Amino acid sequence: MDLISLLCALLVALIISAIVSTAYNQYVLRRKVKNIPQFGGFPFGVAFELLKLTDYELVQWLTERMLRIKKGIFIYWIGFIPFISLHKPEFLEIILPSTVNIEKGEAYNLLHSWLGKGLLTSTGKQWFHDRRLIGPTFHFSILDQFAIIMSEKAEILTKCLEKEIAKNSKKAINIFPFANNVALDIICETAMGVDIHAQEVETKFTSTIHRNSILIRDRLLQPWLWRDWMYNLIPSAKEYNSGVNRLHKFTREVISKKKIARQSQNSSVKSEDEDDDGVDIGKRKRKAFLDLLLDQNEKEEVPLTDDELRAQVDTFMFEGHDTTAVAITWTLFLLGNNPEQQEKVHEELEKVFRDSETPASLKELSQLKYLDRVIKETLRIYPSVPIILRKLAEDVKLGDYTLPKDVTVALDVLLTHTNPEVWSDPKKFDPDRFLPENSKNRNPYAYVPFSAGPRNCIGQKFALLEEKTILTAVLRKWRVKSVKTPDEVQYGPALILRPCEDIFINFTPKK
């Protein structure tokens, strides 16, 4: 036998071996989960079925199976990969508090090129170390400083809305871009101490963040592009990677300037220092998240490197604007569809603020209990993060089911929040669900908009304060009316639960 024939024979043997091994592993895996309701047969699962669906149709597809199965669990196979959907509070109660099953699912790997191994994507010892390091930076006393920035940016938002309304008072406004820009303004100044004026001008930095967020979303919905080598073959990969480099360069420059300032015993870089995009670095003598992180980092035996610091800051930039922007958007949308509940909000605002036109203080915001419930109910119906993926590090027993090690579980927050076995009339907007007397017998894992357990959202108090500050600023000036109803608006679960269309709202000045 000549060399070429030998190599061909070896190649065929390797291919046959790989096929046999894959088939055997699939057989073993499917035997282990055979008693769990499932969709999609060998070898393609539901991959071709899901490829035909829009983002919104995917939500409907998952919801339909939840309503059909009614067991709080089902599997859908995409190729050889099983995704185990969990949407029963008692099942989430077993997974989320675990200190062992903390590794995120494979989809989060798509974020590594942008966010590195920040708090969102890291796992194991690194995650525990970073969580301990970052925790003190979100102490409630520090939120006081951040609240001032939020209030300032909320005032800019109202001016931008006034200008837009003045152009044509009868024209409805697409609220999502406004919510997105104010959230980006807030996160940039609170995370890095940088005023980027996102609401007033669009810089390369702001446009890059917006564009890269969209490119990540698009890639997430195309699993065949999850492998980097495959993704790098398409044109959008070049645009995305260029954007990542631009964002990394920006963050590195901010970190460098912060460190130089600290070394010279200044609390911030002089306000006249500007980067290429014309944004102010250290405009105010306030401590941003980066300053607080550097404070904590100096106490460490093995401090974070500049790249590790960048990963943490980029993570908060990424996580801290889109999620809040959609929450603000959905809250105004739901109030615009529910005039009775909106009137209760206005009555509460009148009671707390009376004739005052000064920005809301923390004390005043704390008195807005009904608005609290409105935000909670919005996050129930439209949770900003609709699905959390975890890769199991060990076998897990869930009632009559055993989930094997290494499978991916989809902790389906959206399905849990709209599960009729848990919530009566789940599509109805009813903030009073969250009155103490209506919540006391509810499983705490029936409502997890910020996740729960050790990997819960570290910035949830920050996010709720931001949402409340912005909503208060807007609703003190206007009544809102949505152009479409919830049944008419489509949305999709791409990292965040974003609308698939413009969310048009009419604004009427309060009298």
Q: Which two tokens stand for residue 115?
A: 């966010």
Is residue 86 within 8 A of residue 410, CB to CB? The reply is yes
Say whether 457 counts as a known binding-site residue: yes
In angstroms, rounded to a whole number, what is the distance separating the alpha carbons of residues 114 and 92?
29
Is residue 282 within 8 A of residue 193, CB to CB? The reply is yes
Burial of 400 (0-12, 13-18, 19+ CB in 10 A): exposed
Is residue 161 within 8 A of residue 503, CB to CB? The reply is no
Provide the CB-side half-sphere exposure for 56 (13 A, CA).
Answer: 9
Q: How many H-runs (helices) and E-runs (strands) does the chain carry?
A: 19, 14
Alpha-helical segments (H) within 418-495 = 436-439, 460-475
CA dihedral of residues 185, 455, 123, 125 (deg, nearest 10) = 110
Q: Which two tokens stand for residue 383?
A: 């949770």
Q: Which two tokens stand for residue 402?
A: 């055993």
**What is the distance between the terminal CA atoms of the chain, rounded to a whole angstrom?**
93
In angstroms, rounded to a whole number, what is the distance separating the alpha carbons of residues 198 and 206?
6
List of residues 6+ apart from 359 with CB closer than 8 A: 151, 152, 154, 155, 473
Distances (CA, A) of 211 to 42, 215, 219, 244, 333: 37, 6, 12, 10, 24
Q: Which two tokens stand for residue 333?
A: 């949308």
Is residue 101 within 8 A of residue 394, CB to CB? The reply is yes
CB neighbourhood size of 23 (10 A): 13
- What b/e sequence results for 25-45 when a residue is b if at least 16 CB atoms lie within 10 Å of its CB, and e otherwise? eeeebbebbeebbbbbeeeeb
Amino acid making up residue 501: E
List of residues 6+ apart from 125 with CB closer than 8 A: none
Distances (CA, A) of 368 to 2, 347, 485: 83, 10, 26
List of residues 6+ apart from 22 with CB closer than 8 A: 80
Q: Which residues are annotated as a binding site for heme?
A: 457
Q: Which residues are annotated as a binding site?
A: 457
